[in-house]
Structure formats: C-alpha cells, structure tokens
Structure 1
Amino acid sequence: MPTDAAPLQWMLDTDPALRWQVERDLGGEPPAVWEASRARIAAEGMGAALLAHQDDDGQWAGGAYFPADFDVEGPEAADGAGQPWTATTWTLSTLRDWGLDPSALAGTADKLATSARWEYDDLPYWGGEVDACINGWTLANGAWLGVDMAALADWFAEHEMAEGGWNCDWVEGSTRASVHSTLNALTGILDWERRTGDARLRDARHRAEEYLLRRRILFRESTGELLGDWVTRIAYPFRWRHTAFRALDYFRAASLHDGTPPDPRLAEAVATVREARQSDGTWLQERRYPGRVWFELDVPVGERSPWLTFLGTRALAWWDG
C-alpha cells in the first residue's frame, strides 16, 4: 500500500528491524527487496545488538522472565524503577516481533529446554507457567523456534474465562477476564496459529476478541466509562499494556488472517489514534515504561517515533481501506 501521508523515507532510514516492514506494508516493495532488508536484522543494528547479549546457555540476563540478579521483593522493584525488560522472554519476543529469521537462533530452543526454568515454581521453560501473558509470549516464541507447543495451546483452552478472554490472576481466584491479559494472550495465540496452521484455539480467540470488542477497546462494559487515561496513550515498545494503539495493531493482523473486514466497534479507538497523528503525518512517543533495558528501542518521550508512525499509518490504511 504505497503512501504519501507519512514521511516514508524517514521511516526507511532506520534500523533493518523496521525498514523491511515499511518496505513491505507501506512502500509496496516486492519480496526480493524487503526480504533482503529483513535478512540484515541478525547482522546489523538493534537485532544484532540483542543477539550479542545472549548467554552461552541460550538465555538472556540469566533468567526466564526476570534477570537472575533481580529481586522481586527488593528495592529495585519497590522504588518505581519498573520491572526489567532484559530477560529471555522479553528479548525473544522482541526479536520475533521484529521478524528475525529463527535460523539466527539455531540451537536456542534446545538450550532453553535444558537450562531455563520459570521463576514461578521452577517450571520448565517451554511448558509455560500459570500467567496467561507469559504463556502467550511463550506459545508464540516456541512456535517461531520450531518447538511443539500443542500442550501449552491446550492450557489456554482450559483456562479461558466464562465471558471469553483470560486473566493472569486466575491463580489468585479471579474469575473475570482482564483486557491486558486477554490482549497479551490473543497476540501470542494468533502468532502461533499463523505459524502452525493449528486452529484448535480459533473459537476461543474469537470469543476473546469479542470480549474486547464489547468494550469497544476503550471502555468498561459495566459503566461505559473510559478504562483509564492510559488506554489512549501510545508508546513503543508496547510491553504488556493494553492500549487502543496496540489493540488496533492486533485486530488488523487478526482481520487479515481471518479474511474479515474491520469491526465497526473499533471506530472510537481508531479515532483516538487518528487524533494523535501530528500535522506532518507522524506520531510522538508519549510515554516510556520504566525498567532495565539492554538499550532503548525507540525515541525519548515527546519526539517523533518512526515505530509508532509506521504502526499508526499501517493501522489507519487498513481501516480506511
């Protein structure tokens, strides 16, 4: 979909992790062009930098979800610094989202099966744990690296809430779904389904999508009030938060996968994304989620973000088209 509504060349003059997606989804380039750009991720820029931080045992920062030296009860967790984003699950998910060819991580899946254990109950890595968000990322990361994730897919069918969707706090007794947990689970399930062709979770996925759509992405179903001002704030990377911007990115992917048109209940969420667009066709970074990082993946708060501009332009082109 060629576009002149956003600064295309400005987005192209970025890291290979973004450039190939701009070429494919906005520039209308043939596969030979964007595939060549994507192949550079492992050797150049941010992708190569993340790969360089991998431990010999296949992990990053020595841990599955948290770095080995992070104390969830310690001062770093309590002083507002935020959770770290450097451990294995976060790094794998980032590289997968960027489109890194899994061959660049040859042997990693086996290493993680041997060395990585979840901080929760010391469970084996590819089996997942009790958190729906973590299991969503693990489901997709495993499929990406060629692991048979069928057992973890079945976990989602067994832990779906009655209203549709999931809640990471089910283990604490929660019986209602969460927008955050549901979007994280959906993102992983869709990625796994696209890679494997396994449709066993498709009905559950559609019920979870309906759970979000009943809320029109932005609102509480019970009162119609805005979920919070955080739902319309935009940031890259998305991390684990549910926002209108991130939800539209998901529903675009699901619509294209399922061959269905955009759902009209997304209109208000689309309007918030459109309103945030600057006069020059860009979007600004509005927040940065605190926490340890290997390096910053996007611009500081208040600056024009090439990642958000790509994602916003692509989402609006899908909606308007």
Structure 2
Amino acid sequence: MDVTAWLLDADPAIRWQVMRDLTNAPDDAVAAERARVARAGWGARLLALQGEDGRWGGGTYSPKWVSTTYTLLLLRLLGLDPASPEAARALERVREGVTWDGRGGAPFFGGEWETCVNSMVLVLGAYFRETGPLVDGLLDRLLGEQLEDGGWNCQAPRRSHRSSFNTTILALEALLEFERSIAPDPSVAAARARGEEYLLERRLFRSRSTGEVIRESWTRFSFPPQWHYDVLRALDHLRSTGRAPDARCGEAIELVRRRRRADGRWPLQHTHPGLRHFEMEDGDGKPSRWNTLRALRVLAWYDGGSGLASGG
C-alpha cells in the first residue's frame, strides 16, 4: 500500500509532521497544516475539554491520562503551535487556575517534588515559552539531580543512586526542549550529552554489565508514551537532536525494522492502561499512524546519516 498516502489521510496532527519529516513539503504548507491542529480534529477536541478552572480531567497530575499535565503533554506531541491564540488562551487558564495540591497551592509551572513530574513540567514550560524564575528553577533542579552515571532517577538520592531509563528520557526531552525553545546553554547541552551517552552505552535497552535486555516492554512501541520509556521514543529523541546517528543505535534500529508489518506499517503496541479523553487509533495490534510516522522518520535519519558516529 501507499503508506505515505495513508499517513496523510489523517488528523492534522499527523499530516503536518508527515509533511515536515517525510515529504519535505514547503515550510509555509507545513505551517498552514500545523495551524489546523488548534482548530480541527484531536487538538481542537482536547482544547475544548479544558475546564473553566484551567484543568483537564479535574486534576493537575491525576487522573492518568486525562489530567492537566498529561493533556498538555499530548497537545505538545500533536504539535499545537504555542504561538497560536488557542494555545495562549489555554495556557492563560493554566497559569491562573492550576496549582499543585500537595504543595499548598504552588503554581503549575513551579513544578512538584519528584524529578519525573518536574521534567514533564519543564518540557511543557519550555515548549509553551514560559520564561522566568519558575522554569529557571525547574531547570536548575534538574541539572543538579543528574547522577554520576549520567542519567536521572526519581527515586534518588534516598532509594537509588542508579539511573532510570524512564526518568532519563523525560529529563532529556525537557533539556532539549529548553535548548530549542528558550535558549541554547552550554551547561544544558553538556548535561543532555551525558544523559544520551548513558542510553547509548546500554544500546538503548540492554544492561551495561550483562548485555541482557533490561525490560522486554521497552521493545514494544506505545503512543502516547506517557511517562514510559521505550526504544522508539529514545530513537526519536536522538533523531530530534540533529546529531549524527550513532553506531550503538544499530541493534535498536534493527528492532524497529523487524516490527514493520508486511504492508509497510507499524502496529500500536503496549498501550498504557488508564483513562483517555478519546481514542486516536484502533488499539493494540492494529496499524498505527503514530508509530508508523515515528518509525519512518527514525529510519530516514539513521539510513540517511553521512557515516555513523562510533562509540562504546
């Protein structure tokens, strides 16, 4: 089948990313399609579900996956233009009305105590161009929580001094979004490079000491990923940095190739249980536009690299 045509016969959130990443459409055409995310389809539906108090799902972090935090993360993945008037109205409601109950009413963009949650808030703050002491404070805390092995762990320092793949990918995405949307910063870039090296040293899914697959679920691809790590999420992050492909990604790339169906598409896998505002796809085992889009752009990045960077 014509996989590109199938991808383009979709919601604006899919279409604009296909146009940008796979068909090399002109910038103005991509921007015009991206603008539709706020006005049609999934993006418009999510925006319409925001309460007058600024929250989604009646909560700040819970219930999963329909709370304010996870809905904003989904809007970011859909590509809602942060400069759009629709995004501005939604974010103004968040600033004015959404607080953290466990912190005595602290504002949403001030974050919470836990590293994973703060990474999510930082990625949102950076994406939606929140600047000032709240976001700067989150960044400083995240940089200060990086462990000696290069990664992060929400259980550190009390319960663990070893990094977690789940926490590390959230931190890396937040740091990259800060660099991209707020300002380049050598200390942020250096911390991100150390964190990416932590993943690459482990071939994205293997134990550094034994070589065994750490968790089989990481080899199956979900969307939205929520707070969970998987191989495709890590590869898509590395692609988005603009760095040259690293040879240590090779086994993970072959895993992506093996997941492809005979018709050229990738299935949805390992959907994380919880509430959803609405369904975007047909369920696990069925063809997934999100996974197909992400897999194709990861393969294009890896196969198009002008020589692979060596490492390890």
Q: How many residues align?
A: 297
User: In 1, distance between residues paired with 2:143 and 2:174?
Assistant: 14
Partner of 1:294: 277
Partner of 1:113: 95
Aligned to 1:304, the other structure's residue is in SS state: coil
Partner of 1:85: 65
Partner of 2:310: none
User: In 2, distance between residues paired with 1:132 and 1:319?
Assistant: 31
Corresponding residue to 2:173 among 187, 196, 202: 187
Corresponding residue to 1:232 among 219, 222, 225: 219
User: In 2, distance between residues paired with 1:297 and 1:131?
Assistant: 30
CA contact (8 A) 2:126 2:174 kept: no
The TM-score normalised by the length of structure 2 is 0.91
Residues 1:244 and 2:231 aligned together = yes
Report the Cα offset of residue 107 of structure 1.
4.2
**The 10-residue stretch of structure 1 (298-307 or 47-56) with the greater mean CA deviation from structure 2:** 298-307
Aligned to 1:40, the other structure's residue is in SS state: helix
CA contact (8 A) 1:180 1:242 kept: yes
1:93-242 aligned at under 5 Å gives the runs 93-102=73-82, 103=84, 104-122=86-104, 123-148=106-131, 149-170=135-156, 172-199=158-185, 200-242=187-229
User: In 2, distance between residues paired with 1:175 and 1:108?
Assistant: 38
The amino acid of 1:95's aligned partner reads L
CA contact (8 A) 2:54 2:96 kept: no
User: In 2, distance between residues paired with 1:270 and 1:53?
Assistant: 37
Unaligned runs of 5+ in 2: 305-312
1:229-287 Cα deviation digits (max 9, x unpaired): 11111121112111111111111012x1xxx3111111111110011111221101122
User: In 1, distance between residues paired with 2:237 and 2:288?
Assistant: 19
CA contact (8 A) 1:232 1:243 kept: yes
Report the Cα offset of residue 150 of structure 1.
1.4
User: In 1, distance between residues paired with 2:192 and 2:45?
Assistant: 34
CA contact (8 A) 1:132 1:167 kept: yes
Aligned to 2:273, the other structure's residue is in SS state: coil
**The 10-residue stretch of structure 1 (106-115 or 34-43) with the greater mean CA deviation from structure 2:** 106-115
Aligned to 1:146, the other structure's residue is in SS state: coil
1:66-77 aligned at under 5 Å gives the runs 66-67=62-63
Residues 1:272 and 2:269 aligned together = no
Change (3 A) 1:115 1:311: same
Report the Cα offset of residue 121 of structure 1.
3.2
Partner of 1:71: none
Higher relative contact order (CA 8 A, sep 6+): 1
Q: Give me the identity figure in percent.
A: 40
Unaligned runs of 5+ in 1: 68-83
User: In 2, distance between residues paired with 1:6 and 1:188?
Assistant: 35
